[in-house]
Amino acid sequence: MEKFIIKGTPKTPSVSFDPERGFFEIKGKSIPENSTKFYGPLFEFLDGYSSCPAERTVLNVKFDFFNTSSTNRIHSLFKRFEKIYLGDKDVLIRWFCENGDENMHDAGKDFKAMLQVPFEIVKVEEL
């Protein structure tokens, strides 16, 4: 599979999916006009990847902010990684948030509680 790259905009996050390395990253703001339209291609890519994933898959998530309509899409994104994990592959989701950003920290804790996949919350000085 080829890499899947989307350049970030003021309303949508940047996406860098490297299936050969098993490295996935999404970062920025997620406040798209149509979250289904934005996240749909990501889901399609991950559905294809899940049929033959790398031995180790890591997703780094670095959101500055996301809106309510993105919440369900982000959860659906995580569920695809959970499916890979439940298929006996090594998967790790890392949720990055800035020190002092309690909203993003709490969001990470909420997602972690809903999933059966290794999920780390990483506090950093700056995203």
The answer to whether the CB of 44 falls within 8 A of the CB of 60 is no
Of 127, 92, 122, which is closest to residue 109 (Cα–Cα)? Answer: 122
Domain count, the chain: 1
Question: Whole-angstrom Cα distance, residue 102 to residue 60?
Answer: 19
pLDDT of the chain along its 127 residues, tens only? 899 999 999 999 999 999 999 999 999 999 999 999 999 999 999 999 999 999 999 999 999 999 999 999 999 999 999 999 999 999 999 999 999 999 999 999 999 999 999 999 999 999 8
Query: Which residue range(s) make up the domain with 107?
Result: 4-124
pLDDT tens profile 102-116? 999 999 999 999 999
Distant-in-sequence, close-in-space partners of 89: CB < 8 Å, separation ≥ 6: 53, 54, 55, 56, 57
Domain CATH number, residue 15: 3.30.750
